[in-house]
């Protein structure tokens, strides 16, 4: 059920009509010889249950185009109108192909001067692989694309925001109110207009792991060492409160470091004078099944987590609000990404992302 029909070679766009014009078209459409762009059969102007205009097949026949929900029609209509009002040439259900022949159909296709933008309204469930394949087709075609996900489609948003894959969540769609973009709490019309006017920007930042170590003496070689016991993430300090919890904290640090650099933590902490973290089974003072602990960089002796908890207690480090300037505590930062991570900003406001929930 597209928003576009053909009158000869001319596009007839439902989203451009006001109520009076649509009523007039419905009264004399037979004389206009309207055709469906998908298959060329006769087109009938109709109104959805949410009050939006679209074209339907006079007879379905053998056309394989998929039907659309009233919510999808409404979302496409709002996007197309906002883009057209912003001065772009807009076509819906626009076909295209990559240089290698992979075909695509854009829900809303916008052109202005040398700019080409596809705006996709996705409400039905699809896999992240399918979404990525469709995005890749636009990239190969030199078309910028943005995705507006609602309904069951939000289930594919399982990764952090990415500059090369703009995805935004749409609130529930009804006839009474215009849906909003959840990341910024603005209407879909305002967001589309602002996006096409370059009010949507991507700001990068480094992905830094901030880890904390406490100074003490190795029980075997008697040299000073620095045992890791906490890390900071999203402004929150996560630290080992007891022997079992300490293993979990150290495992988190170990996982983040090795995922980025490979499985030799010594290489990344030795130049900072910090101990490495390893999984050592059977260390006295570690609870069974909680085997991640600090290992001396000088003699490779494993230090039990119970011993580390006692060192923290002796230095009066009893909560996450310890001072990194304390004589006993040292903070170190490790860049965990080869490039940058970041987030979308609209009119200077950072997106509120809920991708970890999805």
pLDDT tens for each residue of 90-120: 999 999 999 999 999 999 999 999 999 999 9
Helix axes 188-196, 70-85, angle to 10 degrees: 40
Burial of 230 from C-beta contacts in 10 A (0-12 / 13-18 / 19+): buried
Strand 349-350 and strand 341-346: the pairing is antiparallel
* Topology annotation, domain 68-201+340-358: Trna Endonuclease; Chain: A, domain 1 (3.40.1350)
The span from the CA of 144 to the CA of 148, in Å, is: 14
62 pLDDT tier (thresholds 50, 70, 90): confident
pTM: 0.66
State residue 155's pLDDT score: 67
Alpha carbon distance 165, 146 (integer Å)? 7
What are the tens digits of pLDDT across the range 269-310?
A: 776 778 888 899 989 888 888 999 999 989 999 999 999 999
Domain ranges of the chain: 1-67, 68-201+340-358, 208-335
16 has a pLDDT exceeding 90: yes
> Which DSSP helix (H) or strand (E) runs through 101?
none
Residue 260's pLDDT is 77
- Tell me how far the alpha carbon of residue 181 is from its chain's centroid: 13
- Provide the pLDDT for residue 340: 54
- Residue 236, pLDDT score: 82
Q: What percent of the chain has pLDDT over 90?
A: 59
């Amino acid at each position: 059920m597209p928003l576009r029909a053909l009158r000869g070679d001319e596009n007839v766009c439902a989203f451009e009509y006001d109520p009076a014009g649509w009523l007039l078209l419905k009264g004399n459409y037979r004389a206009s010889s309207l055709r469906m762009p998908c298959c060329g059969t006769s087109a009938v102007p109709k109104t959805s249950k949410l009050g939006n205009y679209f074209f339907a097949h006079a007879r379905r026949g053998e056309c394989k185009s998929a039907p659309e929900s009233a919510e999808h029609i409404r979302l496409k209509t709002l996007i197309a109108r906002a883009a057209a009002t912003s001065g772009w040439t807009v076509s819906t259900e626009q076909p295209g192909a990559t240089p290698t022949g992979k075909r695509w159909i854009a829900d809303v296709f916008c052109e202005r001067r040398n700019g080409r933008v596809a705006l996709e309204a996705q409400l039905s469930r699809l896999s992240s692989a399918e979404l990525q394949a469709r995005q890749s087709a636009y990239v190969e075609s030199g078309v910028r694309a943005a995705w507006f996900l609602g309904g069951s489609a939000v289930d594919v948003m399982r990764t952090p925001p990415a500059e090369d894959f703009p995805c935004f969540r749409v609130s529930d769609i009804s006839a009474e109110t215009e849906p909003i973009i959840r990341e910024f709490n603005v209407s879909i019309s305002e967001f589309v207009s602002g996006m096409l006017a370059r009010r949507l920007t991507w700001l990068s930042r480094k992905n830094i792991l901030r880890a904390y170590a406490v100074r003490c003496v190795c029980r075997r070689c008697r040299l000073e060492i620095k045992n890791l016991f906490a890390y900071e993430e999203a402004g929150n300090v996560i630290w080992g409160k007891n022997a079992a919890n300490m293993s979990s904290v150290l495992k988190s640090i170990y996982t983040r470091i090795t995922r980025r650099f490979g499985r030799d933590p010594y290489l990344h902490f030795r130049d900072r004078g910090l101990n490495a973290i390893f999984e050592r089974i059977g260390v006295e003072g570690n609870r069974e099944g909680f085997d991640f602990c600090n290992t001396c960089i000088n003699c490779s002796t494993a230090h039990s987590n119970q011993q580390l908890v006692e060192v923290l207690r002796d230095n009066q480090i009893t909560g996450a609000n310890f001072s990194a300037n304390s004589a006993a505590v040292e903070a170190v930062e490790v860049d965990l990404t080869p490039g940058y991570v970041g987030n979308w900003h609209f009119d200077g406001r950072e997106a509120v992302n809920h991708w970890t929930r999805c």
